[in-house]
Amino acid sequence: MTTCANPWNAWPAVRSTGTSRPRRGIPALLLGWALSCAWMFALAQDDGAPDLGDIEITQSVTCFGFTDIDNPRALEICDALELEENVRARELAEEWIRLQPESPAAQFSFAEVLYTGEGNLARALFHLNRAESLTGYADINEAVESGNIQWHYLTLSQLSNVHQLMGDQLRALEYLDKIEEIYGQDIESFRGWPLLKLKQYDAARASAMAVLENSENERERARAWNTLCAVELASLAPVNSMAVCNRAISEDENLAARSNTGDTVYLTNASEVALSLLRMDAAEDYLDRATRNLNPDSVADPWVYKLYLTMSQGRFMDARAALDRMLIWRENQKPIVGVMNRAEHYMVSAAFMLLAGYAEDAAVLSATALNQPDRNGSYSADDFQKDAMAALINAIASRMQYQVRLEEAAGEGWTGALKARIDASGLLFSAWRSERFAASLFTRPEILLNRLRPYAPLDVHIPEWIEPDLVRMIGAGVVRGALDEALAAGAFELNTGYYHSWLTEAAAIEGDEIAVIDHGARALTELPGEEALLRARVAARMGDAHWRLGEYESALEHLENAFRADPGVSRRLGIELPVSLRVSGGGLSRELADVLRASPRFSEHENGFPLEAGDDGAICLRARSGENLSCYTSATSGGPAGNAGEASRAFHAWAFGPGFEIDKAQRSILRGSSVILANSVRGMENSPELLSEN
């Protein structure tokens, strides 16, 4: 019996993702397959068929997914793209456009260079539209007669893909329908993700089930399981198990074992599902598996999520290492991938800069993320969620900058202090603007409800230790109402500690110390131990509340625990640590004491933490037991103590940070290096740091 292979088996993977991530463009259907199959069947029926030994076998060259493209200009461009000679590919495509502007082949080829080589979706869409206007065939016969059948099919395929990436899911589905109508191809496995993005969950589930019932193609089945994984997460209540998401991983790893084309998408999605089930160890295990192989074609950078995870757990050195590896991964991404996840890199970097004490860098990074055009059609989150997250972090960063400027003003002369306070007031205005913008996005009922769910898997990732800042932005009363509704819907079914952590923040904003202590105690009892930074936030609120009630011993206990877990939490929340100043000597030590009194980080009280200032510029904050909480000396900084203002600034930077510095060069890379331009820097694919097990 003579058979033909299903062309879908030869297609490159198209990743529709679960809780975020990519989908590569729908590749060209090898239409020559149909003709070659017809020829083979004809030979099978012909007694005079030539012997196979008489047939000359030539090596086929694939260009844009086809083996029968023979246009020399197209082949040159394909060669350049294959060799990642993107500048040469663009020059060739531009020359072809100049010579033959009415050629659909030239228009598509230029669009593909812009898409693949540069990640410029907007310009690629312009030339794809031009290519479509030059074809526009109503059926396959008309396409065949035109001689442009490949270019027509390629154009429709890429138009669907580009619209999907740019967030226009209805148009993406329209082009899928065109492909099915004109070419009679089953494209059901590509429908699930756009339907999910449109929140048509029942339709997405039905589409995925149809694929699983009718297809044996592992890539199609992996996409279908991945869609079902995402659909299961649409409910506020936690999923019952990870079985569906694990099937997506299993299908993909089966493919990877044979073709070495596994995708980190399925593993990172499974990690997010594990987090939504509060299985932190399992989540990290999935991420560690994903980091073992560099995957420049996948928008799912596992180091982004490893960085979020280690930050939340207070593992500052591990977070620093994850940041370094994230940058290596980012440098090796393909341009189109860099376009899709650049905002994600900016936002996680901004969160890390907040934690590390670099408020200005956090503000710049979050503003940069806010200004990025939305290219997150392959992410389950709605487009505006990225903007809401960026605005939220920007507001926190501006308020943190305000605190830092007041700390600096404490060590300056009268004129300098006045100027610093004027500058600081401008930062408060910037924070207010960002807060209003974030509030306008988060107050949508459906968004706020899902946001309250711990590790909301279909949303933009916002660290649990950052989320409570929303209470100040949108109001404690609004949040309380949403919390009750989310609780009834099962959002806190796995752990009500998160529910009480939100209520702790709401009570703190309203100045209800008793409620802060009550809800805070329940939160600390129930929250997972891995939630180091969220627990530190709750403890800081409780400590402040106890202090206001005159319960000094309990206050110092909670404030000490918060400081040990997250030294910067009091700065981010604007909380003053009660201290008892102790001066050893005169001169510089007394000047230091005056500066520290003026700092917004401290309030002087006889029952506070011992804060010692020495004549050598040394400053030590001690626990009640006398143990050092944080000490700054000239040896700490590697230089002389300088004057009181300099020593105070250095102490604040050291005491309210994670215990390490980030050099200016790396901060410049985070702040100013374009993800797209960085893709021209290659050659680190075999980095032993990246390819080894974490």
pLDDT tens column, 152-190? 999 999 999 999 988 899 999 999 999 999 998 888 889
3-class SS of residue 582: strand
Q: Which CATH fold topology does 60-186 show?
A: 1.25.40
Over residues 554-583, the mean pLDDT reads: 95
Give the mean model confidence (pLDDT) for residues 624-646: 72
DSSP string, 29-58: P-THHHHHHHHHHHHHH-TTPPPGGGSPP-
* Segment holding 426, helix H or strand E: helix 414-442
Q: State the pTM of this model.
A: 0.82
Structure tokens at 20: 């975020």
Distances (CA, A) of 71 to 28, 32, 61, 150, 151: 16, 16, 12, 12, 12
Residue 549 tokens read as: 């009630």
Class of domain 466-565: mainly alpha
Q: Per mean pLDDT, which range of 5-19, 372-386, 485-499, 623-637 is the poorest? A: 5-19
Residue 44 has pLDDT above 70, yes or no: no
Whose CA is closest to 26, among 378, 332, 339?
A: 378
Q: List residues bridging with 170 in a β-sheet.
A: none
The residue with greater pLDDT, 20 or 346, is: 346
Q: Look at residue 20 in the predicted model and tell me its pLDDT.
A: 38
If pLDDT is split at 50, 70 and 90, which confidence band does 679 have?
A: very low
Residue, of 182 and 373, whose pLDDT is higher: 182
Q: What's residue 639's pLDDT?
A: 45
Tell me if domain 60-186 and domain 466-565 are identical in fold: yes
Closest CA to 394 of 449, 445, 444, 343: 343
Q: Which has the higher per-residue pLDDT, 650 or 378?
A: 650
Integer Cα distance of 540 and 569 in angstroms: 7
Q: Specify the pLDDT at position 25.
A: 39
CA distances from 152 to 34, 61, 105, 159, 341 (A): 16, 20, 9, 11, 29
Exposed, middle or buried, 47 (CB in 10 Å: 0-12/13-18/19+)? exposed
Domain ranges of the chain: 60-186, 466-565, 571-656
pLDDT of 79 reads 94
Higher pLDDT, 73 or 660: 73
Q: Give the residue-averaged pLDDT of 488-496.
A: 90
| DSSP structure string for 206-263 | HHHHHHHHH---HHHHHHHHHHHHHHHTTSSSPPS-SHHHHHHHHHHHHHHHHHS---
User: Model confidence at 51, in pLDDT bands (50, 70, 90)?
Assistant: very low
Compare 338 and 153 and report the one with higher pLDDT: 153
User: What was the pLDDT predicted at 235?
Assistant: 67
Distance between CA 219 and CA 477 in Å, rounded?
A: 48
